[in-house]
Amino acid sequence: MQITPINENNTNFQGLHVSKQALKIMGTSRRALLKNPAIKEAADKFEVLVKPSRETYTKEISWSNEKEFAVILSSSVGMVAGALFSLTGWTMFPLGVAVGLVSAYGLVKGISRPYKEVTNNMMLIQGGERFENGNLAGIKTDQYEIESTTDSLPNLVRLLKYRIYGSKSKNIDADNLFTSQNYLAMLDENAIGKGSADFLHKRINDKGDTLLTQFFDIYPEENPKAYDQIIKRLKKIDGLDFNQKGALVVSCLEKIINSENDKVLPLIKDFEFNYTPELEYAYQNIRNKKFKEKIKNLNIKFPDILEAVRLQSHDALYRLEGQLDSPLCNRKQLAREINKVLKELKDPSFEGYFKSIYLKYMNTGEANLLD
């Protein structure tokens, strides 16, 4: 079963389905609906059905309004006083009025508060994969009820992508993806394109593998032509996360290093990797010197060090000192990032402390990178 490609360039919002009669009942318009960010995005990339719904409930009538109470009280007094006047005449009327006030007050206070039925016109919003024969088809979101187009809604696009890609990936046989030809067929079958990163990031087995991590278990030499085609396809996909880890918690880059696979380096050359001790261990065991140099030149970040500097944590910096001495550390790049954080902190005392302890790692022999 193929995934319907997402049309990222649709600006006509033909994916919003709501009848004129429904708009009239709900007292709104297509323009107003499309001002809701969740509806607009979902109508652009998938299908959205909007239907009227009525919410009926009983509402207690309150006597808290003083004017309302006064009207009810005076009416009650009038009724009681009138009845007493007809029975007693003028001689007993003042007493009758007093008795009437007390009786009316007791009547109003003791009466059970009445309820009235209230009906609100609501809107039912639902996103779907396709729209066929006047209804949503394929995978759908739950229905969400809102009273106004300005009410907040969950991210329908995210929900749909999760359900669509999740359901499709469950049907993929992970053990059948260890050849380039089979992997390429999987990409074709599911129309993998520019916006398909979410699909490739989904887990496909209990080991933690994803379609993306699985690719790096394929040997390029097994089918070089198909392998090159896969790389070309993957290079066109935005947002691929090569920091993902698969079975045995092994990251994509670790797999690349362990297999010394230089054919895949053009795919990852611009990606920002996060340093891990496992990466350094794998790097130290590279046999091919040229490949080792290529790995060293990748963009490997050290976010833990930057966070320790930002928090001015002496203990954290002490524990992370070994990372500053890592062969994967691009000292010039890291020094620029550290200098930026130190300037933001504007703390001469901590800056002096940091330089006094860690300057040796930021000195290339040509210049002090932290000056």
Question: What tens-digit pLDDT sequence spans the chain (371 residues)?
Answer: 333 333 433 344 578 999 998 898 888 999 999 999 889 988 888 899 999 887 665 656 555 554 555 555 555 555 555 555 555 554 554 555 555 554 555 554 444 455 666 667 788 899 988 898 888 988 888 888 888 888 888 778 777 765 665 555 555 666 667 788 889 888 887 777 777 888 899 888 778 888 999 999 898 888 899 999 999 999 999 999 999 998 778 899 999 999 999 999 999 999 999 999 999 999 999 999 999 999 999 999 999 999 999 999 999 999 999 999 999 999 989 999 999 999 999 999 999 999 888 888 876 555 556 65
What total number of domains does the chain contain?
Answer: 3
Burial 68-91 (b: 16+ CB within 10 A, else e): eeeebbeebbeebbeebeeeeeee
243 and 255 in a common domain:
yes
Contacts of 230 (CB under 8 A, 6+ apart): 180, 183, 184, 187, 215, 218
What's the CA gap between 253 and 244, in Å, rounded?
9
Burial of 104 (0-12, 13-18, 19+ CB in 10 A): buried
Using the 3D structure, point to which of 95, 113, 131 is the last residue of a domain: 113
Contact 190, 233 (CB under 8 A): no
Identify the helix (H) or strand (E) that includes residue 201: helix 197-201
Read off the pLDDT of residues 19-36 as tens digits, 9 standing for 90 and up: 998 898 888 999 999 999
Q: Are residues 94 and 184 in the same domain?
A: no
Instruction: Give CA–CA dist 301/307, Å, rounded.
Output: 12
Whether residue 230 sits in one domain with residue 287: yes
pTM value surpassing 0.75: no
Q: Is 314 found in the same domain as 271?
A: yes
Same domain, residue pair 247 and 329: yes
Which residue in 319, 297, 298 sits closest to 307, CA to CA?
Answer: 319
Domain span including residue 75: 62-113
Cα–chain center distance at 330? 33
**Shared-domain flag, residues 257 and 271:** yes
Query: Is position 172 within any domain?
Result: yes
Residue 215 and residue 123 share a domain: no
Task: Provide CB contacts within 8 A for 186, sequence distance 6+.
Answer: 172, 177, 192, 211
Q: How far apart are CA 283 and CA 104, in angstroms?
A: 92
Summarised one tens digit per residue, pLDDT across range 295-342 is: 999 999 999 999 999 999 999 999 999 999 999 999 989 999 999 999
CB 242 within 8 A of CB 275: no
Q: Are residues 103 and 171 in the same domain?
A: no
| Position 200 in a domain | yes
- Is the domain of 234 the same as that of 331? yes
What single string gives the DSSP state of each residue in 54-116? EEEEEEEPP---HHHHHHHHHHHHHHHHHHHHHHH-GGGHHHHHHHHHHHHHHHHHHSPPPEE
- Residue 149 CB coordination number (10 Å): 19
Q: Are residues 105 and 124 in the same domain?
A: no
Residues 193 and 141 in one domain: no
214 occurs within a structural domain: yes
In a domain, 333, yes or no: yes
**DSSP state letter for 238:** T
Q: Are residues 255 and 305 both part of a single domain?
A: yes
- Confirm whether 4 is domain-assigned: no
- Cα–Cα distance between 270 and 51 in angstroms, integer? 46
